[in-house]
Structures are given as structure tokens and as C-alpha cells.
């Protein structure tokens, strides 16, 4: 049996990017006061980064797992599914 790595499985997915319409919104004021900043570590796709003290979500790479929504202790992010026909298209389950 030929096993694929996680990176290989994620790499074959297709993304329909809703340019200019992020489904992730950040409240920078709340995030600035957050000590944990769990979004930076918990996202399996590495969507979040910190630049000059701001949290930046690269929403186009989102796997739509919802982990960040649950993990954010400060209610600093608002997360919805992308609009219909946008977002990730899984090709291997």
C-alpha cells in the first residue's frame, strides 16, 4: 500500500479563492491584548502570521476545519464558511 504524507494530500486540494472577501476577520485590538495567540500555532495550514504586532490571516489557504474558531480564547477572530462555490475542494476525502 502506497501511503501519502499529509503535505501530499493537502497539496492535491483545489481552492476557489474569493478574492477580496476573506471569510476570516480579525479584531486587532483584541488580538493585541491576547497572550496565547493560539491561532499562530494551532492552524494546520499555517494561515495566521504576525506582522508588526498585527495578526494576518492568509485566508486563501484555509482548510475550513474550524480549529481556530474554537481555540481563540479572546474572541479576536470571526470565522464563517466561505461563500457558496468558494473555498477548499477536497480531492481525497
Binding positions for ligand SF4, rule: CB under 6 A: 43-45, 47, 62-68
What distance in Å separates the CA atoms of residue 82 and residue 21, rounded to the nearest whole number? 8
Pairing of strands 54-57, 14-16: unpaired
Residue 38 Cα to chain centre, angstroms: 12
Residues in the chain: 93
Pick between residue 32 and residue 65 the one whose CB is nearest to ligand SF4.
65
CB of 2 to ligand SF4, least distance (A): 26
Min CB(93)–ligand SF4 separation in Å: 16
As measured in angstroms, the least distance from the Cβ of 24 to ligand SF4 is 6
Decide: 86 and 64 in contact? Cβ < 8 Å.
Answer: no
Q: Which is nearer to ligand SF4, 1 or 14 (CB)?
A: 14
Q: Which is nearer to ligand SF4, 35 or 66 (CB)?
A: 66
The residue written with cell numbers 498585527 in the block is 54
Amino acid at each position: 500500500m502506497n501511503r501519502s504524507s499529509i503535505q501530499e494530500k493537502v497539496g492535491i486540494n483545489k481552492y476557489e479563492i474569493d478574492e477580496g472577501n476573506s471569510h476570516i476577520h480579525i479584531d486587532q485590538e483584541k488580538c493585541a491584548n491576547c497572550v496565547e495567540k493560539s491561532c499562530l500555532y494551532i492552524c494546520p495550514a499555517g494561515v495566521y502570521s504576525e506582522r508588526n504586532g498585527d495578526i494576518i490571516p492568509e485566508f486563501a489557504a484555509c482548510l475550513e476545519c474550524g480549529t481556530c474558531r474554537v481555540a481563540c480564547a479572546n474572541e479576536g477572530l470571526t470565522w464563517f464558511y466561505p461563500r457558496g462555490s468558494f473555498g477548499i475542494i477536497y480531492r481525497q476525502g
